[in-house]
Amino acid sequence: MLNLIRYKNLIFIVLIQWLIYFSVLMPILQKYAFLSAPLPSGIFWLLTLATVLIAAGGYVINDYFDLKIDRINRPESVIIGEKISKKAAMSLYITLTSAGVLLGVVVAILLKSSTLGFIFAITAGMLWFYSSSYKRQFLVGNLIVAFSSALAVLVVLAAERASFSSIYSDELIRQMPPSLLETYRIMIKELYFWVCGFALFAFLLTLVREVVKDLEDIVGDREMECRTLPIVWGEKNAKIVVTCLLSAILTGLFFVVHKFNLPNDNISFRYFIFGILLPSTISIVFLWNKKFSYKISGDLIKFTMLTGILYTLIFNYLIAKAYGFALFGMFQIL
């Protein structure tokens, strides 16, 4: 059951949302002295649970519709039809997804945000249509999965904005003194810059990983007449796309590290070199070397995504060091 719902991936989702909130949003709020409007921890964990439940349901329905393909590509890992019946799998999907959407609606009601309710409902719908049909269409499925990864980051920002708006109404903001209003605007820009930056990173790395995964699964996908990028454009062109995307990501990150470094930051560039550039480069080498499987390259891309998200801890440390306040950490959960 744990393997069916991809428990390792679910743990990663929890880690991402916790780091985005406690190591990016909270330090920025404290930096600008707006700490009186954080998202309540109880609501944050409801939000995370809703995200995890919907993602778990998505993994179940994906395996449900991919049963024939998986029997060709990875027969040893097939669960549905072998250890769990198709009927039980569908019931599990309905239970997980319904619970996730319901919790998402509860969070939306508590924060008085229709946007949040829409995000959870649309994500559940996207995962269904991805598994049932879009996955087999050219690039559409890859983009849906990548967008879902970005939403896991952005939904935390959406919840924080809703919580902030419940305390600082539009009318109250308009009545702020000019200096305080300018501080507010700068803070909002910084919140969006960093969170959207991590969301874009998650989107692009997930897109790259999905293309590499299609390279891994090309035999079964071709048998089932899927129109994935490696099948439509060929393996060589798919590898060129992966290489170009990774190169673009690395170039963008180099620009960000160089242009938007925090005060007294002598860590970020070295972190970029060893945590992002090095594993990404090795993954490209493995991708083109026929001696290695595509899985190794895909695993290195996963590792790069992990190190990229873990940069939030460096961000937290640098802000605390620059502005002289305590680090946010595990004890802030309670």
Q: Which of 103-112, 126-135, 152-161, 189-198 has the lowest mean pLDDT?
A: 126-135
Whether the predicted pLDDT of 74 surpasses 80: no
**177 vs 191 pLDDT, higher one:** 191
Residue 307 CA to residue 206 CA, distance in Å, equals 14
User: For a pLDDT cut of 90, what percent of the chain falls above it?
Assistant: 53
Please tell me the predicted confidence (pLDDT) of residue 260. Answer: 75
Task: Categorize the per-residue pLDDT at 322 as very low, low, confident or very high, splitting at 50, 70 and 90.
Answer: confident
pLDDT above 80 (res 33): no
- Band of pLDDT at residue 263, cut at 50, 70 and 90: low
Label each residue of the chain as H, E or C: CCCCCCHHHHHHHHHHHHHHHHHHHHHHHHHCCCCCCCCCHHHHHHHHHHHHHHHHHHHHHHHHHCHHHHHHHCHHHCCECCCECHHHHHHHHHHHHHHHHHHHHHHHHHHCCHHHHHHHHHHHHHHHHHHHCHHHCCCHHHHHHHHHHHHHHHHHHHHHHHHHHHHCCHHHHHCCCHHHHHHHHHHHHHHHHHHHHHHHHHHHHHHHHHHHHHHHCHHHHHHCCCCCHHHHHCHHHHHHHHHHHHHHHHHHHHHHHHHCCCCCCCCHHHHHHHHHHHHHHHHHHHHHCCCCCHHHHHHHHHHHHHHHHHHHHHHHHHHHHHHCCCCCCHHHHC
Q: Is the pLDDT assigned to residue 332 strictly greater than 50?
A: no
Distance CA(322)–CA(125), nearest Å, equals 43
| Average pLDDT score over residue span 66-88 | 83
pLDDT of residue 37: 61
Name the range with the highest mean pLDDT among 98-107, 117-126, 323-332.
98-107
- Please list the residues that pair with 80 across neighbouring strands: 84
| Chain mean pLDDT for the chain | 87
Task: Compute the Cα dihedral for 57, 60, 62, 65 and give only its sign.
Answer: negative
Total Cβ atoms within 10 A of residue 94: 13
For the ranges 298-302, 318-322, 325-329, the lowest mean pLDDT is seen at 325-329
Q: How confident is the model at residue 329 (pLDDT cuts 50, 70, 90)?
A: very low
Residue 172, pLDDT > 80, answer no
CA angle 28, 11, 109 (to 5 degrees): 60
Question: Dihedral of CA 302/103/30/153: which sign?
Answer: positive
Report residue 326's pLDDT band, with 50, 70 and 90 as the boundaries. low
Asked if the model's pLDDT at residue 334 lies above 50, the reply is no
- Predicted pLDDT at 327: 60
Query: Cα(206)–Cα(200) distance, rounded to whole angstroms?
Result: 10
Q: Quick one: which of 104, 143, 135, 137 has its CA closest to 121?
A: 104
pLDDT confidence of residue 308 = 94
As a whole number, mean pLDDT of residues 65-84 equals 82
